Amino acid sequence: MQRALPGARQHLGAILSSASVVVKALCAAVLFLYLLSFAVDTGCLAVTPGYLFPPNFWIWTLATHGLMEQHVWDVAISLATVVVAGRLLEPLWGALELLIFFSVVNVSVGLLGAFAYLLTYMASFNLVYLFTVRIHGALGFLGGVLVALKQTMGDCVVLRVPQVRVSVVPMLLLGLLLLLRLATLLQSPALASYGFGLLSSWVYLRFYQRHSRGRGDMADHFAFATFFPEILQPVVGLLANLVHGLLVKVKICQKTVKRYDVGAPSSITISLPGTDPQDAERRRQLALKALNERLKRVEDQSVWPSMDDDEEEAGAKMDSPVPSDKAPTLPGKGAVPESSLITFEAAPPTL
């Protein structure tokens, strides 16, 4: 363990040295607030549902709760999440978009979590849900990062045995957290933060994120139903379409627009707003690679000759004329090839 610590510190230092200002600032804020918790009570930095709404209106907690941690393992998860987002998402989006994504997810998690506990209080009249519950930590942003990775590199394999792809990791982790909550090993605010992080990040990336091709990502592989097992996808897709239609009517979401390019040289091209041509090219390359591997496996298999081919070859040999062992020769000439139509004989000697 002591030998591994210097290597880990050196590796972490190398990662942070190449990171952007946004990643460094977020990591520094997490460490600073964690160290500050040993000196003063940092509970005022977490979202408390009873204090977020009027008359207290602690609105600053929406910006600070995602950076506040109380345990060293929570700090490690928070730092790892920020670093992974900086390494994998920032090159695609840029530092500013990563900061916007971090802010949108954390503010949404704070608001949705506070409303959820407010509704729970209204149903139970238990003041614990208003003034004791504290929503904080990076689990909400972790859910958002996993959703973004599903969007950008969902086909990548995380584990080979058993084979686990990035696209199924968000729901697998949600199931694991749910089991920990049922076993009373996890508090309810942590589960709520992760769940609302998944939802808010998907809504933002699906409908509102700005990029070169417009806004949002309406690709089929990023639909809400794809987060669930295949057996549940038809039902979930139907419910999601109903909710989306309702949101379109109240003008919260935009209607999906399809553009048909009838002047394309090959066939009619349908383009959806938000679909990235680089993502389509990546998927095409993966499909070609899988096809080449399948064809290679087929070629490597040995092909046994059939009995019909042997019989046809034997019949062809029987029908073909058998050449003579010795061809006739002429005086002063070499051997003359014998034909089945014309024969040559030696001329009689002249007297």
Predicted local confidence at residue 120, as pLDDT: 95
Tokens standing for 179? 């089991």
Highest-scoring range by mean pLDDT, 119-133, 258-272, 319-333? 119-133
* Residue range 11-222 in CATH 1.20.1540.10: yes
What is the per-residue DSSP string for 172-183?
A: HHHHHHHHHHHT
- Cα–Cα–Cα angle for 133, 70, 85, rounded to 5 degrees: 100
What mean pLDDT do residues 8-34 have? 83
How would residue 282 be classed by pLDDT, with cut points 50, 70 and 90? Answer: low
- Which pLDDT belongs to residue 264? 47
pLDDT band at 317 (very low <50, low <70, confident <90, very high): low
Residue-wise pLDDT for 112-156, tens only, equals: 999 999 999 999 999 999 999 999 999 999 999 999 999 998 888
205: DSSP letter: I
Dihedral angle, C-alpha 169, 173, 179, 181, nearest 10 °: -160
Tokens of 246: 């309702």
For the chain, percent of residues with pLDDT exceeding 90: 53
Residues 102, 89 contacting (CB under 8 angstroms): no
Largest CA distance in the chain: 144
Most confident among 8-17, 67-76, 258-267, 328-337 (mean pLDDT): 67-76
Confidence bin at 186 (pLDDT 50/70/90): very high
pTM of structure: 0.73
